[in-house]
Every structure is written in C-alpha cells, then in structure tokens.
Structure 1
Amino acid sequence: MAVKLTKMQKKMNYDAKLSKLLDHYTQILVVGADNVGSNQLQNIRHGLRGDSIVLMGKNTMMKRTIRLHAEKTGNKDVLNLVPLLVGNVGLVFTKGDLKEVSDVVAKYKVM
C-alpha cells in the first residue's frame, strides 16, 4: 500500500516542482481555467505533450513559490506573473513558440 503524504510534504513537492519548472523553461503562458472539465484539461495536456507542461495549483502557493524563487535566484522577471495569478488559472511552461502553444490550447476550447 502506498504511503500517504502529509499536507506539508505535498506543499514541499509542489514548491520543488514549480521551482524546477521556473529554472528549466524560458516561456510561461498563463491560461484561464474557468468551466474547464477534467477531460478537456487532459486533452490539452495530451496535445501539448513533449514540448510543454501544464501546471495547475493554488494561487497562494504559486505566488509564494514564485516570490521565493525570485529572491533565491535573483530573477526578478518572474515576479511579473504574481499579479496575473487571480481566479482559476494555470501555467503552461514551454520552450517552443507561444503562439503555437496558444493555438493548441485554443483548439480544445469548448463553447
């Protein structure tokens, strides 16, 4: 049987994952996720597989991690993300063209 992680361990894992993505990827697309079903999100992740990663999470956790990452690395550019993290949003990390990634996400948009 798998060991169940505590809330603190989950938060630490999320923090490490987001920090690694901020280090590794050069471009970030902020996407709104209101009224997005799990199947739709799964299709978007499948469409972006290979060159991009979709990360969803609590806004306060994302803001906290971004601020700590900026202090630790000195990369103040990532602080521009903090005001955009309002409501139900996700981050798409990519090394490719943002227009192509945006088109893939828009392809799965449902009216």
Structure 2
Amino acid sequence: MTVKLSKAEKKVKYDKKLCRMLDEYNKVLIALADNVGSNQLQNITKGLRGDSIDLMGRNTLIRRCIKIHAEKSGNQAYLSLLPLLVVCSFYLFCANSAVFGF
C-alpha cells in the first residue's frame, strides 16, 4: 500500500521537479492550452517523448517556484518567464531546438 503525500509534500516534490527542469533544459516552449482536449495533449506528449519533458500545473505554484529558484541560483533570466505564465498553459522543456523546428 502506498503512502499518500500531504499537500505540502506534493508542492515540495513539484518544486524540486521544476527546479531540476530549469537547470537541466536550456529552452522552454510555453503554449496556451485553452480549448485543447486531453486526448490532443496526450498525443503531443507521446510524439515528443524522449526529446523533451512537458509540464502542466498551477500557475501560482510555478510562479513561486521560479521566483525562489531565480533567487537561489542567481540567474535573473528565469524571471522573464513570469509575465508569460497566463491561464491554462503547457510548458515544454527541451535541450535542443530541433524539437521546436527552428
């Protein structure tokens, strides 16, 4: 039987995952996911598997994680992502630009 994580533990786990992605991947594609079905998002994720990692989540939590990570790492470039975090967004982290087609 697995142990359920508390909300605080889930947030810490999500924060670590996002910080790892920010450190590991040098490119991020932000796409709006309004009026996009879950099946379509799943197909996109399957098609990009292996080359990139996708992330969807609470914008407030992502904002908080980015602010904290920018302070810890000293890289203020992360703060330029904050105005782009709007409504329902889909974040695609990638190491090379070949996935994006440019």
CA distance in 2, matches of 1:73, 1:53: 21
1:102 to partner: Cα distance: 6.1
1:28 aligns with 2:28: yes
Asked if residue 45 in structure 1 is aligned to residue 45 in structure 2, the reply is: yes
The alignment's TM-score, normalised by the length of structure 1, stands at: 0.86
The whole-number CA distance in structure 2 between the counterparts of 1:9 and 1:35 is: 31
Match of 2:100 in 1: 101
RMSD between aligned residues = 1.5
Structure-2 separation of matches of 1:53 and 1:35: 21
1:80 partnered with 2:80: yes
Q: 1:51, CA displacement in angstroms?
A: 1.0
- How far apart are the structure 2 equivalents of 1:39 and 1:102? 23
Structure 1 CA distance for aligned equivalents of residues 94 and 55 of structure 2: 11
Normalized per residue, the structure richer in helix is 1
* Aligned structure 1 segments of 4 or more residues deviating by more than 4 angstroms: none
On the 8 A contact 1:48/1:101 being kept in 2, the answer is no
Residue in 2 that maps onto 1:107: none
Report the residue type matching 1:77 in the other structure. A
- For structure 2, which runs of at least 5 residues remain unmatched after alignment? none
List runs of 5+ in structure 1 lacking aligned partners.
104-111
Letter in 2 for 1:42: Q
Q: Which residue does the alignment assign to 1:92? A: 92
- Give yes or no for contact 1:33–1:88 (8 Å, CA) kept in 2: yes
Partner Cα separation in structure 2 for residue 90 and residue 64 of structure 1? 17
